[in-house]
Chain A
Amino acid sequence: MFLGVDIGSSSSKAVLINPLGEIVGQKAIQMGTGTVGAKSVEQALLEETGVKRSDVLFAVVTGYGRMTYPGCDLQITEISCHAAGVCFSLPGTRTIVDIGGQDAKVIRVDQAGRVVNFGMNEKCAAGTGRFLEVMARVLGCRIGELSALAGKSQNTVKISSVCTVFAESEVISQLAAGAKIEDVAKGAHNSVATRVAGMCNRIGVEEAVAMTGGVALNQDMVKSMAAALSVPICVPESPQTIGALGAAHFAREKYGRL
């Protein structure tokens, strides 16, 4: 068995694959680096699949917490792991938009799933999952409810500020002025999409485009992103665990070769 672990800033993910590259199990826990989530995700996955740790031939860790995660054979950046994961889930993908808790990345890949180029958010949390978390809190809903809420929007509110803190005050004043929460939710999605689209265009968008990371679970967010880029966007079956899947594939590839 081969294990891939992805320790993000707000969640931890793990994927097990067999020697044929088939997924044996996958798990995501909404607790990231520096928490018990990082350790428990691997444990939970092994318990769920009935696989013993000693049956894991090689393990690769990725993500923001990769440097401090013990017990893996190799660490690889989330940039390369997302590229590898998407390459296996959605072959033919050339551009990946990955929006996680504190990062937004655009990754260009070649036909072999290798990273050609990438861009990441700069200096602040604008355009990341954290921005949406803050928006959900202001709107009084759970992060998982944003998609359905934004889907009802008839009159989208424009959020001008890209700064998360300033956008929070902007949203509060718009709600106070009578804006509907679904219109503000859609505005938050568009704000993230616009910010990330700027980065995508800088790197250059080549179809097919896929979206990964926890934020890709939000279907309306994917819709906003596709509209901002004017291209269709595919989402893999389990977008949140794509980095861990890529790590598992690296584990399979590197086993016996290092």
Chain B
Amino acid sequence: MDKKISSKKMLKEMMAEHYSDALKRKAEGKPVVWATSIIPQELMEALDIAVVYPENHAAAIGARKDAPVFINHAEANGYSVDICSYARVNMAYADILESEAENIPIPDMILSGSNICCTAIKWYENIAKKFNIPMVLIDSPFNMSYDVSAESVKYIRKQIENAITQLEKLAGRKMDYDRLKEVMKVSNENAIWWKKATDLLANKPSPTNGFDMFNYMAPIVCLRGNEKGTRLFKTWYEELQANVDNGVGPWQDQEEKYRVLWDGIACWPYLKDTYVKLKSNGINVVTSTYPESWTLLYEVGDLDSMARAYGGLYVLRSIDYITDRLSALATGFKVDGIVFHSNRSCKGMDFKQFEIARRLESKFGVKYVFFDGDQTDPSTFSLAQYETRIQALVEMMEGNRQREVHGI
């Protein structure tokens, strides 16, 4: 009997293939691009250029707790402890070129987007200088207005067009715009399946634990533009839908007592610890602002619409917009509380957190908690401090329930 392969197995195989394929292509003399994690990957997919994502690679190194070797190397080279730990890991990797997590080939070009953060500009300038390769920048302004302005769209579109010209030179051929349209279609389809799957966590109980979303982030970063991604996210969606239909919750051995929103990047070096402490308190992460950043939807074949999507990422948005977005997530996913990861590395995501928390609390009375950590550097996290904060969140959420039940 034909047994359907699980999405988890698929994920593992596809990611291994993603890295081995990039190394193979490099060995065959084909060009490789290093790119930031939310870049118009459609351009490279359409030109059949191999692309790897150092942030994803750094996260994999962090999750294996291997980051200190790279961080120490980068700091010994003169990089400050205050620089993003993904950047420190990657800049050290560019020197060491060997990691137990995965290996990535040396790049022939950099495609950097400031839509994820401004550090990415200087980080990749250094990489480009080191390898003496060109760097193409797609700069996206912060949106002071509620929506992405027409000027920003024009500005970003022009840069996408410039990136196409540069990538054509690297590929040694012209862009086939019909092929680009196909890739845009696949990318949108993948984003839709990603959204459909993650939206299922709004069910009570949620059909999986939200840390699973973090596991599926590697493919949404790396496989967003190809059919493999479609197969994977569709399968994941079907598995989750089956759980919803069968009333299967996130855990076999316990109930989902509280539902929370996770704000910020995962604390990769302590992924298991942060998860276990939540689970031991019956807390399930049902939604997060971080994975949501990859729900990039736009009009297929329309570069303006594409520019608007890439220029409208969460980190580029005003506090008013983010308050509304988080409010929608909090109510749509029926959360009892919010866990804010105050991530030392990611100022772009974190600097608004206190004000957002304050606004959400006054709007809904939703309980929240902050904990200190880092996306890759293990030195800023304290498990005991995390434990106390999470337990205090439970006590506050319980207080809210008592107020609801007893009306006091």
**What residues on A are CB-neighbors of B387 within 8 Å?**
67
Q: Which of B342, B367, B408 contacts A122 (CB 8 A)?
A: B342
Q: Is A80 an interface residue (CB 8 A)?
A: yes
Measured CB to CB, the closest approach of chain A to B138, in angstroms, equals 33
Is the pair B389, A120 in contact by a Cβ cutoff of 8 Å? Answer: yes
Q: How far is the CA of A115 from the CA of B402 in the complex (A)?
A: 12
Is the pair B395, A116 in contact by a Cβ cutoff of 8 Å? Answer: no
Measured CB to CB, the closest approach of chain A to B394, in angstroms, equals 9
**What residues on B are CB-neighbors of A195 within 8 Å?**
none
**What residues on A are CB-neighbors of B399 within 8 Å?**
110, 114-116
Whether A77 contacts B354 in the complex (CB less than 8 A), given A115-B399, A117-B361, comes out as: no
Max chain A Cβ within 10 angstroms of own Cβ: one of B344, B361, B388, B403: B388
Query: How would residues 335 to 365 of chain B score, 1 for a CB under 8 Å from any chain A CB and 0 otherwise?
Result: 0000000101000000000100010010000
Q: How many residues of chain B are within 8 Å of chain A by beta carbon?
A: 23
Q: How far is the CA of A78 from the CA of B361 in the complex (A)?
A: 22
Is the pair A116, B396 in contact by a Cβ cutoff of 8 Å? Answer: yes
Q: Which of A16-36 contact B (CB under 8 A)?
A: none
**What residues on A are CB-neighbors of B403 within 8 Å?**
114
Q: How many residues of chain A are within 8 Å of chain B by beta carbon?
A: 20
Chain B residue at smallest Cβ distance from A112: B408
**What residues on B are CB-neighbors of A76 within 8 Å?**
391, 395
Q: Is B123 an interface residue (CB 8 A)?
A: no
Q: Is B133 an interface residue (CB 8 A)?
A: no
Whether A80 contacts B392 in the complex (CB less than 8 A), given A114-B399, A123-B380, comes out as: yes
Q: Is A64 an interface residue (CB 8 A)?
A: yes
Measured CB to CB, the closest approach of chain A to B133, in angstroms, equals 37
Q: Which of A116-159 contact B (CB under 8 A)?
A: 116-120, 122-123
Give chain B's interface secondary structure class: helix
Whether A119 contacts B370 in the complex (CB less than 8 A), given A77-B388, A112-B408, A202-B354, comes out as: yes
Is the pair B392, A64 in contact by a Cβ cutoff of 8 Å? Answer: no
Is the pair B392, A79 in contact by a Cβ cutoff of 8 Å? Answer: yes
Total residue contacts A-B, CB cutoff 8 A: 47
Measured CB to CB, the closest approach of chain A to B380, in angstroms, equals 6
Measured CB to CB, the closest approach of chain B to A89, in angstroms, equals 19
Is the pair A80, B408 in contact by a Cβ cutoff of 8 Å? Answer: no
Q: Which of A99-123 contact B (CB under 8 A)?
A: 110, 112, 114-120, 122-123
Q: Which of A64, A80, A114, A118 contacts B384 (CB 8 A)?
A: A64
Measured CB to CB, the closest approach of chain A to B337, in angstroms, equals 11
Q: Which of A67, A77, A123, A202 contacts B392 (CB 8 A)?
A: A77
Q: How far is the CA of A123 from the CA of B342 in the complex (A)?
A: 10
Measured CB to CB, the closest approach of chain B to A49, in angstroms, equals 29
Chain A contact residues, CB within 8 Å of chain B: 64, 67, 76-80, 110, 112, 114-120, 122-123, 202, 204
The 3 closest A-B pairs by CB, nearest first: A114-B399, A79-B392, A77-B392
Chain B contact residues, CB within 8 Å of chain A: 342, 344, 354, 358, 361, 367-368, 370, 372, 380, 384-385, 387-389, 391-392, 395-396, 399, 402-403, 408
Sample of 5 further A-B pairs with CB below 8 A, known A67-B387, A114-B399, A119-B370: A64-B388, A110-B399, A120-B385, A122-B370, A202-B358
